[in-house]
Structure 1
Amino acid sequence: MSILLKNGTIVTSTDEYVGDILIEDEKIAAIGKNLLLEADQVIDVSGKYVLPGGVDQHVHYSFDYKGARVQGFDTSNAAIVGGTTTVIEFVNQAPGKGIAETIFEYEENEVKDVAMVDYSFHGIVCEPSDELFKEIPSLVDKGLPTLKLFMAYKGLPFHSDDEAIFKALKAAKDVGVTVMIHAENADVIDILQQEYIAKGLTDPYYHALSRPTLVEVEATQRVIHLANLAGAPVYIVHVTAKEVMEVIRDAYIKGTPVYGETCTHYLMLDKEDLARPNFEGAKYVCSPALREEEDREALWNAVNKGWLNAVSSDHCGFNWEKQKTMGIDDFTNIPNGSPGVENRLGILWTYGVNTGKISRQRLVDLYATTPAKINGIAHRKGHIGVGFDADIVVYDPTPVSIISNETSLQGVDFNIYEGLKQEGKVDKVFLRGQLAVEDGKYVGRLGQGTFIPGKPYGLCYEGFEKKEELESVL
């Protein structure tokens, strides 16, 4: 099956031009102007933008918080109607099992027959034993080149202390595994939470007050020091605030290979959303917590200038009525996380590109190209080029709509962007050459997604090499 897309405005992370794209089977076979080629189907996309399919490097389809489990891959059609064709899922190490064993059992049982987007995985360390650290080198042969550790969540299975992080960094650096860190000081958070609860201050707003910016700043500084001691690169996920971003930026300038992402909700929302009445604030409980309006502006500036190099959704599909309300009398029991995979591209386009905060090329870099590089899948994903997977989004810039959970495919009972305007829409999406979205509606099939093995030595190791060169000069 061959498809010829004609006259679209093709946008990559570096270019923008009007041209044609020939898709043959699953790959991009040719790109050019006025291509005189035969195809089984010719589609005129004049007046529309043609983007690479998005890569969302931070989603949760298997997360469990105190017994509440998120919506799974059977809702991943929400990702593709939002312009994301590849997601990278965080999988918690199962008790008594290794990282790879946990991931591939999960894929077999809950992913491969239902995924509607392509997917890769990050392993999450829950049992930081010597066996775990010995397993890290073998992950690269299984297409698993990333690992995540949580400095937050004291007392929960996925919390890691400094010893575990340091050992993971040392084991990972020799084989090109990228270590990702959720950076918050768990001990300080635990003390502050107990103090608020003891005073009867149990509303969702105190979730934010018990996780102030400084707990994220301190943990980020600490893990950068650990990475320097280990001689390893490190990636900080979901950066929320100006001060945290500046810690990462300044360390990188000094030669430390440290990188970070932010998320759409940190660009759009702030902690006052947690003060909404009638327990509505629980919908906005995520960790790290939402910050201040001035932090939002600083983060937009950071992603524009490259100080943070990706925008993810941190999609976490808890329901409000039956799951978030677990914490109605104690904010520490509110499941942390909110849905958002469906809205990432629309938010970046409307409130980034159309307000002049970022260019279209920068959008592509943040939502597709750099996430693919970070996670070792840039040989197939995140770019419109000959030989790449034909993951293509056709974006119509003209329609204007209102974001509403009524039309969402995320499978939960709320949307944190409810009522916001969206300019433009995802018109068509091709996943490896197969039409999966038509006129903004999902037309694909259950199980159309496939595992995309990642390669080691992703983007973070470019900085690592620079650091090694710097040290050799000094």
Structure 2
Amino acid sequence: MSLLIRGGTVVDTTHSYRADVLCVDGKIAAVGPDLEAPPGAEVVDAGGLLVMPGGIDPHTHMELPFMGTVASDDFYTGTAAGFAGGTTSIIDFVIPNPQQSLLEAFRAWRGWAEKAAGDYAFHVAVTWWSESVREEMGILAREHGVASFKHFMAYKNAIMADDEVLVNSFRRALELGALPTVHAENGELVFQLQRELLAAGITGPEAHPLSRPPAVEGEAANRAIRIAEVIGVPLYIVHNSAKQALEAIARARGEGQRVFGEVLAGHLVIDDSVYQDSDFTRAAAHVMSPPFRAKEHQDALWKGLQAGHLHTTATDHCTFCAPQKAAGKDDFTKIPNGCGGIEDRMSILWHYGVNTGRLTPSEFVAVTSTNAARIFNLHPRKGAVEAGADADLVLWDPNGERTISAKTHHQNVDFNIFEGRTVRGVARRTIAAGKVVWDDGVLRAERGRGGICRGR
């Protein structure tokens, strides 16, 4: 199966240039001017469009069992929705229950992912510690290509990793050449603040950000960084939402420490006023952790992205519909945490980043695709427009516009946190494994066509 993308402008992390791209059997076979189409090849006209690596969302939770329910987007609906926005690959999370075998959990997630329309990889969470966990981390890294291990510093009495777990797991990751990642919130402080708010009768979504103030995130980020410093292991901090966490990362990087930061599209453009909505359904739809912050934090996050202290953009895509969110109607701590965004991340980053001059097109490619591929050992198979790479590409229309709405999106959820925003910069066509899977408004995703991906 051959496909020739003709007449576009290729954009990578350093420059842009006019070139055709030939895809054969799911791989990029050639990039250059005036390429010949093989007999029977499909030819796609990319005139006026940018040809970029397909987006990689390094932080998703498809069909995650969480807080008494299961996320509404599964691996098929979630990856298919990603195609509509130019994202061709995801890195999801295997989250074992405390005392559960990591390999057992990994097999379960692999089974659920068999329905994926696009490619995927996994981070594996370490939620407890024993000699068996140590051994299974080795098996996952050596035999299954797992390049990163996740640690939740929040969610006390559930999946929270204390300092002992962090130290042991970070040391093991260093031995394996794997990258530890953390969800940085002080779980004990969150737990105590939640109790105080409930005792004071503050039970609605407006209590959620009060129970997780910025300092809670900043403390945990700094603690994880210093543990990693002592052990001598690199560290990746997910969904930074507060300037205190960003400052901890920038300080550590200034000292020569290898610390990587991730920011969510939502945290760049949505502020904490959403929790003051008098309509419970709308306010609860925004409950995620860490929460949306005051506007001063958005400004800091954009500057962190521009300065190179934040390296990737993600969504933490974990969708729950209104009836699921209603479980916390009388107790905000029972609202399932999670929001969507896999379909909209790249347009949000282009509209509010490139169109405002905060990011160049090449920087956009870096933070939406290539940096994630490099950090998580998927490059150059992913995140590159070059011969030998997977033919995962997006044909981007920098002047195309769309208005985001739950009425028209492809995510399997009844709410969109970017509802009503008109964005300029859209995926005109998305190509996965050399096949057009999003064709100017027509979704052509195929259930089960994706596969687990590793670097080359």
TM norm structure 1: 0.93
- Give the superposition deviation at 1:41: 2.3
| Unpaired runs of at least 5, structure 1 | 456-474
The residue aligned with 1:120 is 121
State how 1:202-213 maps to structure 2 within 5 Å. Answer: 202-213=203-214
Moved more, 324-333 or 120-129: 120-129
Give CA-to-partner distance per residue, 1:393-438, whole Å, 9 cap, x none: 0112233221000111111110000001111321111111011111
State how 1:154-165 maps to structure 2 within 5 Å. Answer: 154-156=156-158, 158-165=159-166
CA contact (8 A) 1:100 1:123 kept: no
Counterpart Cα distance in 1 of 2:2 and 2:190: 55
The residue aligned with 2:274 is 273
What is the aligned length? 451
The residue aligned with 2:296 is 294
Distance 1:85 1:216, change over 3 A: same
- Give the superposition deviation at 1:235: 0.9
CA contact (8 A) 1:53 1:368 kept: yes
Counterpart Cα distance in 2 of 1:252 and 1:57: 21
CA contact (8 A) 2:128 2:165 kept: no
CA contact (8 A) 2:83 2:430 kept: yes
The residue aligned with 2:412 is 411
CA contact (8 A) 1:144 1:454 kept: no
Secondary structure of 2:323's match? coil
1:88 maps to which of 83, 86, 91? 91
Give CA-to-partner distance per residue, 1:148-197, whole Å, 9 cap, x none: 010001111x1110000010000110111111000111111111111110
CA contact (8 A) 1:120 1:454 kept: no
The residue aligned with 2:150 is 148
Distance 1:90 1:100, change over 3 A: same
Do residues 60 (structure 1) and 61 (structure 2) align?
A: yes
- Give the superposition deviation at 1:101: 3.0
Do residues 8 (structure 1) and 8 (structure 2) align?
A: yes
1:103 maps to which of 102, 106, 110? 106
Moved more, 165-174 or 118-127: 118-127
User: What is the one-letter code of the residue matched to 1:53?
Assistant: G
User: What is the one-letter code of the residue matched to 1:43?
Assistant: V
The residue aligned with 1:30 is 30
Do residues 384 (structure 1) and 378 (structure 2) align?
A: no
The residue aligned with 1:131 is 132
User: What is the one-letter code of the residue matched to 2:162?
Assistant: D
Counterpart Cα distance in 1 of 2:50 and 2:330: 48
Distance 1:97 1:19, change over 3 A: same
- Give the superposition deviation at 1:257: 1.5
CA contact (8 A) 1:133 1:171 kept: yes
The residue aligned with 1:311 is 313
User: What is the one-letter code of the residue matched to 2:269?
Assistant: M
Give CA-to-partner distance per residue, 1:297-332, whole Å, 9 cap, x none: 11111112211000001101111x211111111111
2:286 maps to which of 284, 289, 304? 284
Give CA-to-partner distance per residue, 1:132-153, whole Å, 9 cap, x none: 0232222222111111010001
CA contact (8 A) 2:395 2:428 kept: yes
- Give the superposition deviation at 1:37: 4.8
CA contact (8 A) 1:426 1:440 kept: no
CA contact (8 A) 2:315 2:345 kept: yes
The residue aligned with 2:422 is 421
Counterpart Cα distance in 2 of 1:53 and 1:111: 19
Secondary structure of 1:51's match? strand
Counterpart Cα distance in 1 of 2:57 and 2:267: 15
TM norm structure 2: 0.96
